[in-house]
Structure 1
Amino acid sequence: MVGAGLTAALPGTAAAAAAAETCTAATGPYQRPMEEYLKRTVDGAQSPEDCAAIRTFQQSRSITPADGYANLVTYRTMTAVKAGANPNAAGDCPQRSDRVTCVDLDRQLLWVQTGKNVVLDPVPIRTGRDGEETRTGWHAVYWRDRDHVSTIYNNAPMPYSQFFDGGQALHGRPDGLFDGGGSAGCVNLRLADAAALWDLLDIDDALYIWGTKPGTAD
């Protein structure tokens, strides 16, 4: 029976090895954090096995291309997944009896909580670039426009806009979030996330924003 068990295990082992061998993406800019999250040896150097593990994560989160390369979209998605059901573990976003939209500039994450309960799971965001940082502190939604078009930035579409401080708003970004840049101060979201946030929030909803976007001045 032992021999039979070993024989039965070999095809799976061979298949796993073959899968790793066919994953050939190079070392990515977010190699180390992905290795750490996936419980691989953290050495910052891609191996076929690392590549296969990253590719499996990408496939599980519908990231394209799912090629095993540790790029920005993979890293940012992992950050949101890692935050999980307790994104406020550090206690940075104040807990109140009313609903609070929490905007973490350090991790580039947004979630919504009521007291200790998370009512919108953490999602990736894109906030203000250097010199046009998203303003921190307490804010409140004062105007909503589902099909807003910017009057400042070349008629850029800003779907599901919820303004909270002057011209700064929560809104969807049709071009996506993961180009490595930043906004002019708004909190950009993926379209589906912006739509979910639109359905959840209303006028006078509270926002709390803290931290520093990576790559911007303190």
Structure 2
Amino acid sequence: MGISAATGRRHRRRLVALFTTAVVAAPLAVLAGATPVQAAPACTKSTGSHQKKVEGFLGLKTDGRQSAEDCKKIRSFQTKHGIRPNIGYAGPVTWGVMNLMNKQKAAGKNPNKAGKCPTNKGRIACVDLTRQLSWIQDGKKLVKGPFPVRTGRDRYETRTGAKKVYWRNRNHWSTLYDVAMPYSQFFDGGQAFHSIKGSVWSPPGSHGCVNMRPADAAAYWKLLRNGDDVHVYGRKPGT
């Protein structure tokens, strides 16, 4: 059965009104923050291979069983330090970061106890790849640090040996990786001390530079000069 012209016009007006309302409402919803949020990955219920060690590090009950509290605390640690997937699983990567932190803490104020960084060159910046630590000493006297650092990952290792600071750029920008490198102090080709955003414990490592926390890199910037010695030794875990 057909419809009258007046009825057709009323239908058309309703359709236009509905279409206009939908088009206007969508941007308003976006502006109001009503866009859908992707769900975070589920917190695992699985017991990790290093469960007890991770629990102990975090001050949790060391029963070796995964609980909701365990997962929450482990996941928070993983998120803070860029460990993926951050689902609260107490695996080897998470424990590896924690174990490294323990070793760094054990260095205390005598990081050169083993005498692996030269003490006959005056002021020198030492980089211990094994413990991922760096400090500045003058002879046997500790001047600054030790600071936790992040050095080159597998196949991008920070090169070992005797170096010298040869170029400094306070606001360097890497054209190779398209990233800011504040407080850059180059000591071996494209390898340099510089600060990064995020955690210096974030795996797997840098592309060869010695990554530092902003305040630590700023302290190095104030102390080091072109021509100062740098000594890199050891081997980064996982390389």
TM-score by length of 1: 0.68
Q: Which of 181, 206, 209 is matched with 2:229 structurally?
A: 206
Pair 1:136-2:160 in alignment: yes
- Tell me the SS of whatever aligns to 1:182: coil
| Cα displacement (A) at 1:192 | 1.2
Paired residue type of 1:186: C
Q: Is 1:83 the equivalent of 2:107? A: yes
Q: Residue type of the partner of 1:160?
A: Y
After TM superposition, the structure 1 = structure 2 runs for residues 18-33 of structure 1, keeping only pairs within 5 Å, are: 29=50, 32=53
Q: CA deviation at 1:181?
A: 1.2
| Distance in 2 (alpha carbons) for counterparts of 1:133 and 1:30 | 30
Q: For residues 73 and 132 of structure 1, do their structure 2 counterparts lie closer, same or farther at Cα, with a shift above 3 Å needed?
A: closer
Q: 1:32 Cα shift?
A: 4.0
CA deviation after TM superposition for structure 1 residue 208, in Å:
0.4
CA distance in 2, matches of 1:127, 1:44: 34
Where does the alignment leave 5 or more consecutive residues of structure 1 unmatched? Answer: 1-25, 64-68
> Where does 1:63-102 land on structure 2 (aligned, <5 Å)?
74-102=98-126
Output the CA distance in 2 between the equivalents of 1:86 and 1:95. 13
Equivalent residue runs for 1:46-61 within 5 Å: none
Aligned partner of 1:115 among 133, 136, 139: 139
Which amino acid in the other structure matches residue 156 of structure 1?
V
What SS does the aligned partner of 1:159 have? strand
Cα distance between partner residues in 2 of 1:128 and 1:146? 21
Aligned-pair distance for 1:93?
Answer: 0.9
Percent identity over the alignment?
46
Identify the match of residue 190 of structure 1 among 213, 227, 233: 213
CA apart distance, 1:114:
1.0
Q: How many residues align?
A: 179
Aligned: 1:163 with 2:186: yes
CA contact (8 A) 1:72 1:180 kept: no
- 1:178 deviates by 2.4
TM-score by length of 2: 0.62
Give the direction of change, closer, same or farther, for the CA distance of 1:162–1:29 in structure 2 (3 Å limit). farther
Q: Is the 8 Å Cα contact of residues 72 and 178 (structure 1) preserved in structure 2?
A: no
TM-aligned CA deviation for residue 115 of structure 1: 1.4
User: Cα RMSD between the aligned structures?
Assistant: 3.7
Instruction: Describe the SS at the equivalent of 1:91.
Output: coil
Q: Does 1:215 align with 2:238?
A: yes
